[in-house]
Amino acid sequence: MRIAIIGTGYVGLVTGAGLAETGNAVTCIDRDQGKITKLLDGKIPFFEPGLDDLVMRNVKGGRLQFANTIADGIKDAQVIFLAVGTPSASDGSADLSQVLDAASEVGRNLKDYAVVVTKSTVPVGTADKVRARLQETAKVPFAVCSNPEFLKEGDAVNDFLKPDRIVVGTDDDRARKVLEDLYSPFIIREHKVYFMDVRSAEMTKYAANAMLATKISFINEIANLCEKVGADVELVRKGIGSDSRIGTAFIYPGLGYGGSCFPKDVKAIIHTGQEYGQKLSILEAVDSVNQRQRGRLLEKIMMHFGGKGQDKTVGIWGVSFKPRTDDIREAPALSLMEGFLSAGMKVRAYDPVGMENAKQLKLGKDVHWATDAQDAIKGAHAMVLCTEWSEFRQPDWTAVKRDMAAPVVFDGRNIYDPIRMRELGFTYFGIGRRVDNR
């Protein structure tokens, strides 16, 4: 099948390369000429494990191409995916301008029947808006479907090639047949494609992310109470996770959820509720617990320094919002670093792949970007673990202690054992951990 993907970011490029892998002829389109130039030079514009091999194999095989304009890229396409960004607007709603602008451009350039599919995360009712935009300019028939994406950065290739499920929203039989064919190679073993109406498909994506965010805010709130009452959230987490109705996934306490999806998607579904006169009380709480959690570690660290940090240095381990990605959007490390810098502290930071993106930010010039984890803690009065990259799990603690100005560790992801850290001579702070009385 001939496929066009509009938006060659984390979702668009993985989708494009994944669909090329099963034999389709795919063109990935992006208006960012820099991204397209990199791809044409054989470089992947962002870090995603396994993606370079998948892209290069399919480029070599002649199944994957790149284009800078929608007019060039959608020629002859039978299926056109919209995989552009849907960031938060200032009122919390999803800003649909990229989706709707792309839809207008598609309409102007459609030459034959095509199935236009929203893969971006978009609020209920967006497919109707996309259809209306296409109708304004298209001179040929088309269908509009919803096919939200569930891949996780850091494991995106695997998630796309071996999905837990594929959700397709359509009320058009011809379009359904096209998407059934397209996805048939991905569902050989089990029936995992859920066809439904468009609005339910759009809602499924928000409900999934809202549920996951809820689990995170829930365990963070329990962790905070554990600290107050002298319980250890890591024991509590295991204790509750062993109940199969609860499960162990996604109940890890930490610095609050970040990234390019959960914060904006929780806000957007709350906004949808407001539009329809339905207050989403749980999700409002999930959002506000998360915002508090994002500030809590900073408060703890400032308290440790007696409220004055001017002459202090902090070493940050991990800048990306989670391991195995260079995505720093809404990363907890960024707000921490901003807090330290505005308190007049010196910040040294290291991340295996996220530093290049962070250097471009306003705070980029005020941070000392370290060459490795050991360099980041040199002369530091505290180390703050923000992202649980594997390489941070078993450092040479003797060397760390030797090079720090004070042996103090704030473990934002609970990856270290508090007792061992104390035995090694560190002052250790985790999230919801019981350190003193065990």
Q: Do the beta carbons of residue 391 and residue 373 sit within 8 Å?
A: yes
Number of residues that bind ligand NAD (CB under 6 A): 27
Q: Which of 357/414 has CB closer to ligand NAD? A: 357
Residue 29 touches ligand NAD, criterion: CB under 6 A = yes
Q: Site residues for ligand NAD, window 203-242 (CB under 6 A)?
A: none
Residue 380 touches ligand NAD, criterion: CB under 6 A = no
Residue 324 touches ligand NAD, criterion: CB under 6 A = no
Q: Which of 152/304 has CB closer to ligand NAD? A: 152
CB of 215 to ligand NAD, least distance (A): 17
Catalytic-residue membership of 261: yes
CB of 41 to ligand NAD, least distance (A): 16
List the structure tokens of 204.
């499924």
Residue 157 touches ligand NAD, criterion: CB under 6 A = no
CB of 364 to ligand NAD, least distance (A): 19
Q: Do the beta carbons of residue 169 and residue 196 sit within 8 Å?
A: yes
* Alpha-carbon distances, residue 69 vs 100, 257, 325 (angstroms): 15, 35, 27
Part in contact with ligand NAD (CB under 6 A); list of ranges 79-87, 225-233, 299-307, 369-377 = 79-87
Q: Site residues for ligand NAD, window 51-70 (CB under 6 A)?
A: 70
List the structure tokens of 69.
């304009």
* Alpha-carbon distances, residue 430 vs 7, 318, 373, 393, 435 (angstroms): 39, 16, 19, 14, 8
Strand ranges for 319-375 from DSSP E: 346-350, 368-369
- Contacting ligand NAD (CB under 6 A), which of 5, 11, 79, 377? 11
Q: Rounded CA gap, 239 and 424, in Å?
A: 27
Part in contact with ligand NAD (CB under 6 A); list of ranges 55-63, 149-157, 294-302, 305-313 = 149-157
Count of CA atoms in the C-beta half-sphere (13 A) of 185: 11
Count of CA atoms in the C-beta half-sphere (13 A) of 117: 25
Close Cβ partners of 230 (under 8 Å, ≥ 6 residues apart)? 434, 437
Residue 7 touches ligand NAD, criterion: CB under 6 A = yes
Q: Rounded CA gap, 15 and 244, in Å?
A: 33
**What DSSP line would sit under 178-203, residue for residue?**
HHHHHHGGGGSSS--EEEE-HHHHHH
Strand order in the sheet with 193-196: 64-67, 25-29, 2-6, 79-82, 114-118, 142-146, 166-169, 193-196
Q: Which residue has the tokens 């994506």?
A: 205
Part in contact with ligand NAD (CB under 6 A); list of ranges 148-156, 276-284, 288-296, 412-420 = 148-156
Q: Which of 232/265 has CB closer to ligand NAD? A: 265
Q: Do the beta carbons of residue 138 and residue 74 sit within 8 Å?
A: no
- Contacting ligand NAD (CB under 6 A), which of 21, 153, 232, 326? 153
- Contacting ligand NAD (CB under 6 A), which of 4, 5, 6, 130? 6
Task: Identify the DSSP state of 94.
Answer: B
3-state helix, strand, coil in the chain (%, to 5): 45, 15, 40
**Mask for 85-114, x = binds ligand NAD (CB under 6 A):** xx-----------x--xx------------
Residue 9 touches ligand NAD, criterion: CB under 6 A = yes
Residue 126 touches ligand NAD, criterion: CB under 6 A = no
Residue 315 touches ligand NAD, criterion: CB under 6 A = no
- Contacting ligand NAD (CB under 6 A), which of 58, 65, 109, 121? 121
Part in contact with ligand NAD (CB under 6 A); list of ranges 2-10, 188-196, 249-257, 298-306 = 2-10
The catalytic site residues sit at 261
- Which residues of this protein are in contact with ligand NAD, per CB under 6 A? 6-12, 29-32, 35, 70, 83-86, 98, 101-102, 120-121, 149, 151, 153, 260-261
